[in-house]
């Protein structure tokens, strides 16, 4: 059975059903994001993988995800007065023959009541706003140029 | 030479806050302060407190309109009832009710009859609905998404019997309706919370937008990042586009998270008042009993808020209550029952569709039409 395809709003409905310790993976088709989630009783751990973008670098760090993780905080997200701590990383990553191939991913952990917000839109907005800056910083960290390929479904 | 006398402060400046607790207490309460030893209920709307002195006070709990909005005329009538039948004291509770104090059961019964005659329900103690809290919403708030008092009214009409005790519940029930996610008049530490949410990004009303922007010549010179309206958007969804010698402010819907910060800062941003909804959260409480304090969890992330009857919302709330009544043990709060039977079982029992298609269908062309409601309600059964 493949990964279920859902729209943004349905993804939230499915997250709302998760029991403690349960994990779920969805393809959010209207945003082009793979949503990996885990409910831990007092929080949701969420990762949104941009499957529409592939990043390549001619370098293979020992732990690519760790090496490319940058953390940030967005004030007034998802609502005025709140703040969202998030991380961006290249994950999942694949290193072969000294070449790193990975997708950009944004991750955040939120309390259960935050499911009232459109968290898929939040993840999408974080990517749309911060991706260029993030990739520039990763390039500087890795000490090499990055090749970014946009994957278009036809 | 002596220093000039210090001028006396105006009397109002000599006041010390807080005012002493007993300053305005009725004599009956002052005499028995801290000496209450017993209590008993007379139905679900009258509670009797017994002092070690042998004196007793009877309190009548009466539901107020949503957001505790009263006309001065009604407030005067209440004060008159408190003077004629009670001990001249009333109290507004945190659950949005009003309590009348009396010194005999007979007097309390007279208060009950009189306020019920005015159309106000009496109840709210024991295994009943203790009240529905509501924020003020559009009356005084600039952030409101839904009119929480009117949702409260619709819920109150549906759940009236649970307040008066004509139908009882497994334990106390508290509900809170918030006009927006700020939830400044309550929180999610409550059995059922209903929180307003915008359904789509706002539209820009071009004809008044210039009132929120610098003059055109200045706008042409300053960097985009220094334009106030660009700055207020936390996700960068607002951007300037130069078209010839004209500069336009654009909203990129893909970057918008409906936080309404732009609307807070400029009236040119119009959300669609018909495309609004609420999230419904369940299983919170501040009480230490049972499983202890906890915040509510989202059961339904989004359901349309359709005035005046808000049928979708009331259908879900009624369904939650029905499941609780059917499966709870005596005295078990909603949170405790969910904890015992498990979240998954609870969600299955309520029957919330895993797909949002029922909700989306409403927005696909048939929204706001009465014939669309039954299919949604059926989906919840």
What is the residue-averaged pLDDT of chain B? Answer: 88
User: Would you call A78 and B259 a contact, using CB atoms and an 8 Å cutoff?
Assistant: yes
If one compares B295 and B15, the residue with the highest pLDDT of the two is B295
Per-residue buried b or exposed e for B122-145, using 16+ beta carbons within 10 Å of the residue's own CB:
bbbbbbbbbbbbbbbbeeebebbb
Which structure tokens are listed for B150?
């009117």
User: Would you call B264 and A80 a contact, using CB atoms and an 8 Å cutoff?
Assistant: yes
pLDDT at B379 over 50: no
Q: Is A95 on the interface with B (CB under 8 A)?
A: no
CA B297 to chain CA centroid, Å, is 17
Q: By CA distance, what is B298's nearest residue in A? A: A113
Q: Which of A86, A67, A69 is nearest to A129 (CA)?
A: A86
CB nearest A113 (choices: B236, B257, B297): B297
Chain A CB contacts of B260 under 8 Å are 80
The span from the first CA to the last CA of chain A, in angstroms, equals: 23
The proportion of chain B whose per-residue pLDDT surpasses 90, expressed as a percent, equals 71
d(CA B317, CA B207): 42
Mutation target to probe the A interface, by most A beta carbons within 10 A, among B144, B232, B257, B359 is: B257
What pLDDT sits at residue B352? 76
The reported pTM is: 0.89
- Note whether B139 and B298 are within 8 A (CB): no
Per-residue buried b or exposed e for B215-247, using 16+ beta carbons within 10 Å of the residue's own CB:
eeeebeeeeeeebebbebbbbbbbebeeeeeeb
Each residue of B110-147: pLDDT tens digit?
999 999 999 999 999 999 999 999 999 999 998 999 99
What pLDDT sits at residue B372? 39
What pLDDT sits at residue B370? 41
User: Would you call B355 and A10 a contact, using CB atoms and an 8 Å cutoff?
Assistant: yes
d(CA B355, CA B379): 10
User: Would you call B298 and A112 a contact, using CB atoms and an 8 Å cutoff?
Assistant: yes
Under DSSP, the state recorded for B122 is B
Is the omega angle on the peptide bond into residue B135 within 30 degrees of 0, that is, cis?
no
User: Would you call B236 and A125 a contact, using CB atoms and an 8 Å cutoff?
Assistant: yes
Distance from the A82 Cα atom to the nearest Cα atom in chain B, whole angstroms:
9
For residue B111, is it left (φ>0), alpha (ψ between -120 and 50) or beta? alpha
Q: How many residues does chain B have?
A: 381
User: Would you call A75 and B234 a contact, using CB atoms and an 8 Å cutoff?
Assistant: yes
What pLDDT sits at residue B223? 86
User: Would you call A116 and B355 a contact, using CB atoms and an 8 Å cutoff?
Assistant: no
Helix axes B372-379, B311-327, angle to 10 degrees: 20
d(CA B350, CA B327): 11
d(CA B194, CA B298): 10
d(CA B297, CA A114): 9
d(CA A108, CA A35): 11
Query: Between vectors from CA B304 to CA A13 and to CA A125, what angle results, nearest 5°?
Result: 60
CB nearest B360 (choices: A9, A19, A112): A9
Which structure tokens are listed for B277?
């909804």
- Note whether A108 and A84 are within 8 A (CB): yes
Distance from the A112 Cα atom to the nearest Cα atom in chain B, whole angstroms:
5
CB nearest A113 (choices: B296, B353, B359): B296
Q: Which of B77, B119, B117 is nearest to B100 (CA)?
A: B77
| Lowest mean pLDDT segment, chosen from A112-121, B82-91, B216-225 | B216-225
d(CA B242, CA B213): 14
Q: Is B360 on the interface with A (CB under 8 A)?
A: yes
Q: How confident is the model at residue B369 (pLDDT cuts 50, 70, 90)?
A: very low
Q: Kindly provide the ipTM of the predicted complex, given to two decimals.
A: 0.93
Query: For every one of its 154 residues, what pLDDT tens digit does chain A have, with 9 covering 90 and above?
Result: 688 999 888 999 999 999 999 999 999 998 999 999 999 999 999 999 999 999 999 999 989 999 999 999 999 999 999 999 999 999 999 999 999 999 999 999 999 999 999 999 999 999 998 999 999 999 999 999 999 998 876 6
d(CA B211, CA B204): 12
CB atoms closer than 10 angstroms to residue A136: 11
Q: How confident is the model at residue B15 (pLDDT cuts 50, 70, 90)?
A: low
Chains A and B form CB pairs within 8 A to the count of: 111
- Cα–Cα distances (Å) from B155 to B133, B192, B198, B281, B360, in that order, read 11, 12, 21, 15, 23
- Note whether B48 and B56 are within 8 A (CB): yes
Report DSSP letters for B257-300, one per residue: ----HHHHH-TTEE--TTSEEEEEEE--B--SSTT--B--EEEE
Each residue of B268-288: pLDDT tens digit?
999 998 889 999 999 999 888
User: Would you call A76 and B257 a contact, using CB atoms and an 8 Å cutoff?
Assistant: no
For residue A61, what is the enclosing H or E element?
none
Non-local (6+) Cβ contacts of A125 within 8 A are A77, B235, B236, B237, B254, B255, B256, B257
d(CA A74, CA A77): 6
If one compares B5 and B299, the residue with the highest pLDDT of the two is B299
- Note whether B148 and B96 are within 8 A (CB): no
Tokens 């709140």 found at: A82
Mean pLDDT confidence for B217-245: 88
């Amino acid at each position: 059975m493949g990964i279920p395809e859902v729209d943004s709003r349905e993804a939230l409905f499915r997250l709302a059903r998760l029991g403690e310790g349960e994990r779920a993976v969805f393809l959010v088709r209207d945003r082009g994001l793979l949503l990996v989630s885990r409910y831990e009783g007092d929080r949701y751990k969420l990762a949104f993988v941009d499957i529409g973008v592939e990043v390549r670098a001619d370098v293979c760090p020992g732990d690519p995800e760790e090496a490319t993780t940058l953390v940030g905080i967005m004030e007034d997200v998802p609502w005025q007065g709140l703040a969202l701590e998030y991380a961006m990383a290249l994950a999942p990553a694949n290193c072969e023959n000294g070449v790193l191939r990975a997708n950009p991913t944004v991750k955040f952990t939120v309390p259960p009541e935050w499911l009232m917000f459109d968290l898929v839109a939040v993840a999408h907005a974080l990517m749309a706003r911060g991706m260029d800056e993030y990739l520039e910083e990763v390039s500087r960290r890795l000490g090499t140029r990055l090749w970014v390929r946009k994957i278009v479904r036809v | 030479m002596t220093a000039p006398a210090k001028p006396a402060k105006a009397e109002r400046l000599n006041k010390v806050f807080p005012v002493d607790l007993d300053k305005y207490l009725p004599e009956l309460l002052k005499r028995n302060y801290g000496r209450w030893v017993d209590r008993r209920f007379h139905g679900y709307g009258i509670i009797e407190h017994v002092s070690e002195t042998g004196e007793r006070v009877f309190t009548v709990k009466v539901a107020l309109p949503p957001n505790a909005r009263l006309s001065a005329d009604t407030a005067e009538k209440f004060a008159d009832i408190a003077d004629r039948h009670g001990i001249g004291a009333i109290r507004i509770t945190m659950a949005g009710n009003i309590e009348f104090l009396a010194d005999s059961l007979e007097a309390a019964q007279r208060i009950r009859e009189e306020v019920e005659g005015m159309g106000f329900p009496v109840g709210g103690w024991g295994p009943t609905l203790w009240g529905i809290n509501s924020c003020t919403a559009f009356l005084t708030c600039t952030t409101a998404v839904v009119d929480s008092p009117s949702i409260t009214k619709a819920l109150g009409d549906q759940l009236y019997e649970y307040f008066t005790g004509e139908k009882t519940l497994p334990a106390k029930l508290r509900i809170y309706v918030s006009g927006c996610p700020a939830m400044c008049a309550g929180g999610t530490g409550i059995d059922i919370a209903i929180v307003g949410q915008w359904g789509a990004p706002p539209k820009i009303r071009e004809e008044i937008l210039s009132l929120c922007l610098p003059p055109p010549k200045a706008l042409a010179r300053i960097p985009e990042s220094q334009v106030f309206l660009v700055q207020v958007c936390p996700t960068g969804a607002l951007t300037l586009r130069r078209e010839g010698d004209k500069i336009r402010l654009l909203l990129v819907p893909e970057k918008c998270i409906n936080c309404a910060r732009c609307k807070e800062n400029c009236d040119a941003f119009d959300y669609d008042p018909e495309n609004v909804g609420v999230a419904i959260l369940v299983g919170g409480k501040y009480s230490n009993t049972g499983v202890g304090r906890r915040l509510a969890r989202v059961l339904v992330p989004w359901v349309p808020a359709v005035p005046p009857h808000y049928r979708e919302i009331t259908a879900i709330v009624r369904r939650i209550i029905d499941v609780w009544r059917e499966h709870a043990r005596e005295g078990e709060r909603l949170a405790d029952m969910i904890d015992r039977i498990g979240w998954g079982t609870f969600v299955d029992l309520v029957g919330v569709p895993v797909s949002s298609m029922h909700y989306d269908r409403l927005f696909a062309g048939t929204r706001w039409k009465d014939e669309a409601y039954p299919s949604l309600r059926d989906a919840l059964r």
